[in-house]
Amino acid sequence: MNKALSEIYRELGITEVHLKACLLSLHSEPSLSDLKVAAIDFEGKPFVLEVNAEAAFQKMKAAALADQITLMPYSGFRSIMYQKSLIAHHLKNGRVIDEILTTIAIPGYSEHHTGHAIDFHEIGKNSLEEDFEKTESFEWLTKNAGRFHFKMSYPRDNQQGIVYEPWHWFFS
């Protein structure tokens, strides 16, 4: 493990036990020059992806639009340091690390670090919910995302032991 990561884990109280229990893969971040602003999100913040994922996303978005579907990205690239700050925020609010790690990936292990993962949401809803599977966007993605090399990473009963995430799609 690299030094920066072990330092983060020490600060957050992430132990060998947590790392052993984690069934996800370690991911690295693209270089800054390989990141591109793909859109401005609902909060007015830039939605960033790795350049190849960005190009595929734009094609997919246009194809969806031609079918009267507006794909709404909620989050894309997230740095390892951002992941760390998310967990630190929850710790500060009194949650315990074991519980936090059931919904937030250990820094270094989120697919969002690669800039290849997109979380979609429904218009008018800011949170990521299982109900996303009932939207037209989800139906469209299920039928068409594969053509653009996007795949749902965490279907029901996935082998990684992650909760069902119908909103999370990965480019590869």
Q: What distance in Å separates the CA atoms of residue 111 and residue 171, rounded to the nearest whole number?
A: 10
Taking the least distance from each CB to Zn ion, the nearer of 50 and 119 is 119
State the nearest-atom distance from the C-beta of 112 to Zn ion, in Å: 6
CB contact at 8 A, 55 and 5 = no
Taking the least distance from each CB to Zn ion, the nearer of 61 and 116 is 116
Residues of the shown chain interacting with Zn ion in the complex, contacts defined by CB under 5 A: 119, 168
Q: What distance in Å separates the CA atoms of residue 115 and residue 38, rounded to the nearest whole number?
A: 11
Residues for the chain: how many in total? 172
Taking the least distance from each CB to Zn ion, the nearer of 10 and 45 is 45
State the nearest-atom distance from the C-beta of 164 to Zn ion, in Å: 12
State the nearest-atom distance from the C-beta of 41 to Zn ion, in Å: 14
Taking the least distance from each CB to Zn ion, the nearer of 67 and 81 is 81
For Zn ion, which residue has the nearest CB? 168
The total of other beta-carbon atoms located within 10 Å of residue 150's CB is 21
CB contact at 8 A, 167 and 121 = yes
Q: What distance in Å separates the CA atoms of residue 52 and residue 160, rounded to the nearest whole number?
A: 25
State the nearest-atom distance from the C-beta of 94 to Zn ion, in Å: 24
Rounded to the nearest angstrom, the gap between the alpha carbon of residue 116 and the centroid of all alpha carbons in its chain is 8
